[in-house]
Amino acid sequence: MIYETSWTAIGVFAAFVALVLGISFYLGAKAKSASGYYAAHGQIPWFVNGVAFAGDYLSAASFLGICGMIAFYGYDGFLYSIGYLAGWIVALLVIAEPLKRLGKFTFADALDSQFNSRGIKLAAAISTLVVSVFYLIPQMVGAGALVKPLLGFPEHYQGVVTVGLIVILIVVTAGMVSTTWVQFIKGGMLVVFCAILTAMIVGRGLTALEAPPREMAEGAKVLSPGGDWAAKKGADFRQVEVAPGQVRVERRYGDDWRLVQSSFKHHGQTMVNGLPQGKKPGQTDFAPVGRIAELPAGRRQTGPLNPLSYLGTLQQSQVEVWRSLKLKDERAVETTIYYPLVVRGDELLTPGGSPTFSALRTNLYVEREGQQVLSWSAIWSKLDFLSLMIALFGGTASLPHILIRYYTVKDQASARKSTVVGIASIGFFYVLTLFLGLGAMTSGRLDVTDNNMAAPLLARSFGELPFAVVSAIAFTTVLGTVSGLIMAASGAVAHDLLANSLRLGLSDYAKVRAGKITAVFVGLVAIALGILFGRLNVNFLVGWAFNIAASANLPALVMLLFWRGTTRQGITAAIFVGMLSSLAWILLSQQCYRDVYGLPPESALVPFSQPGIVTIPLGFAVLVAVSLFTRGNNGRPGGRG
């Protein structure tokens, strides 16, 4: 869809950026030492740190990705909300306090606190870099996707470059001090504004909207292209020439054929519903979608509801949702088709409605030659889901940019309290995501081509100002998370790699300078990757980052704390094996074969795409085995910290 440039959005956005940069420059003067730059002098109040956890953690993927997934597929997006939040329990109950007690600036400090091993520092620094970069890619891709329509940039890369440069400025000026305050402001605003928006959604209630006039292509010429159109995949679709040169698509509904939305490229021009995409005469654009087709008891409108009755009523309604399909003709011209389906609300509000988790609704047994036999494809798909949920659970407490936040408070009690504040704000936000997503689903404003825009478009259904504020908050969401990630990477390189692993003997001042140079470098790499991977699915990439973090870091963190037999070789080996095995698994998965290499997914070498269920236990096994082998030649002096 083409978006009008919103001057209100630009104004609010500019005010936010000015505020954030102003804070950075002001605080920059106070953060000259390494302790100031990397850990905000350990003086951040616990409440501020707790809300900053929310600002750090609630990334563009959480805000835009989950809302979009719920708006299009219902409950399945909420599965991410549950997994992301549950992971905080591991952080609070297992990791937070010992990590604070053992470390100084980075989680490598904690891992290495009893060994003084260059191997551990090197392994932890590399894993921090890999996880941070993997997590940065979706943030930058999301930033580009978000800023492009909001600020009226014609190209995706302009959004990525804008975000990248602002974040580099924030991080370089005042490191963790400004990063923390940016995250605090953003986290607070995100939660408060989403709560207001949810109250408006529930207060507005549900309205059954009339279907747009039924478009029939009477007298149109039916075309018969080859390729997918003639195959089983395209059996329910056909191309029709509704006017000379204007080719549209129809879908079969029972005995009827009905016009649906479609697009394809023609000599570099995007054609929508058979006409060039645009706002001028002779051009057209996608129609906004998403509505309640039928409310229970034939009502047209419910009036204001409470949160429970909102969900209960939606469950008993019929909702029109849109699905898409790509068909190639014999000349390899690809048409993307968007078509409506009316689905029961209770079906949308149970797991398994999206393509990502559709396996949840499949049976483990299939009938073959009159016998019930186990279906391996169903087993792999269900394992894929379990693997993702395990990675989300274990990954949160292993994310380097979250872990470094524990060093900005003064003691363990503050670490504990700030985690609880974090859980409260993040948990509250995730509850709201369900209402935001469902509100967008039924708002009649969805963009069929881009589910990341669901939340901002939902806000637009309430007026231009809510839209401008949501857009500006979404943008600061990206700023907050990206600056945290760049800080983590910067600390890993300057503190762990240069100063501690390579033992370059850097002065306090040199360490800060090295950190700032790294921040600029990582920021530029993030900009490049954001442009390069512009087409990948944002939420999926975040899931992979959690898998790598959990596989590489969780075994080392947990075993260091709970097993006295852990050796430095065990920790180093576990980090490398966990990181490399999960990375290799991802690169050999069906998703990568299809979306990155353009190869047939059936030829992928691993049976499912989320590695956690295999590689997290592998990390633990390697740590135990290597520790047992190397037990004699290096005991750790202090035992369990």
Partner 1 sequence: MKAESPDKPAGGGAPHVDDNQAVSAANARSGLVLFFVYLAFYAGFMGLATFAPGAMGQPVLAGVNLAIVYGMGLIAGALVVAAIYMWLCGRHARRYHAEAGR
**Contact footprint for partner 1 (CB under 8 A):** 44-48, 75, 78-79, 81-82, 85-86, 88-90, 92-94, 97-98, 101, 308-309, 311-313, 315-316, 346-347, 349-352, 360-361, 364, 382, 385-386, 389, 393, 409-414, 416-417, 419-420, 423-424, 427, 430-431, 434, 561
Q: Which of 333, 220, 336, 237 is nearest to 286 (CA)?
A: 336
Whole-number Å distance between alpha carbons of 638 and 382:
43
Q: How far is the CB of 432 from partner 1 (least distance, A)?
A: 10
**Other residues' Cβ atoms within 10 Å of the Cβ of residue 551:** 34
Q: Which is nearer to partner 1, 125 or 314 (CB)?
A: 314
| Minimum CB–partner distance for residue 426 and partner 1 (Å) | 9
CB of 153 to partner 1, least distance (A): 36
CB of 103 to partner 1, least distance (A): 15
Structure tokens at 596: 């990155």
| Shortest separation between residue 312's beta carbon and partner 1, angstroms | 3
Q: Across 355-441, where does the E strand assignment appear?
A: 365-368, 371-374
Q: Work out the number of other CB atoms within 10 angstroms of the CB of residue 221.
A: 12
Sign of CA dihedral 398, 402, 407, 409: negative
User: C-beta of 459: minimal distance to partner 1 in Å?
Assistant: 23
Q: Cα–Cα distances in Å, from 285 out to 101, 210, 276, 454, 456?
A: 58, 21, 8, 17, 19
- Least separation in angstroms between residue 318's CB and partner 1 is 16
Q: Which amino acid is at 387?
A: S
Of the candidates 162, 144, 166, the residue with the CA atom closest to the CA atom of residue 21: 166
Q: Closer CB to partner 1, residue 174 or residue 389?
A: 389
- Which residue, 80 or 475, has its beta carbon nearer to partner 1? 80
Q: Which is nearer to partner 1, 78 or 237 (CB)?
A: 78
Alpha helical stretches, state H, 369-411? 376-395, 400-403
Distance in Å, CB of 383 to partner 1, minimum: 9
The minimum distance between CB 428 and partner 1, in angstroms, equals 8
Residues listed for the chain? 641
83 vs 523, which CB is nearer to partner 1? 83
Closer by beta carbon to partner 1, 100 or else 291: 100
Phi and psi of 259, rounded to 5°? Answer: -65, 135
Q: Output DSSP code: residue 139.
A: H
Q: Which is nearer to partner 1, 85 or 559 (CB)?
A: 85
Strand-strand pairing, 246-253 and 334-344: unpaired
Angle, alpha carbons 199-203-208 (nearest 5°): 125
Q: Report the DSSP pairing between strands 291-294 and 275-276.
A: unpaired
CA distance 292 to 295: 7
352 Rama sector, left if φ>0, alpha if ψ -120 to 50, beta otherwise = left
In the complex with partner 1, the residue whose CB is nearer, 104 or 410, is 410
Alpha carbon distance 208, 101 (integer Å)? 56
Q: Which is nearer to partner 1, 83 or 491 (CB)?
A: 83
Q: Which is nearer to partner 1, 273 or 414 (CB)?
A: 414
* Least Å from the CB of residue 335 to partner 1: 33
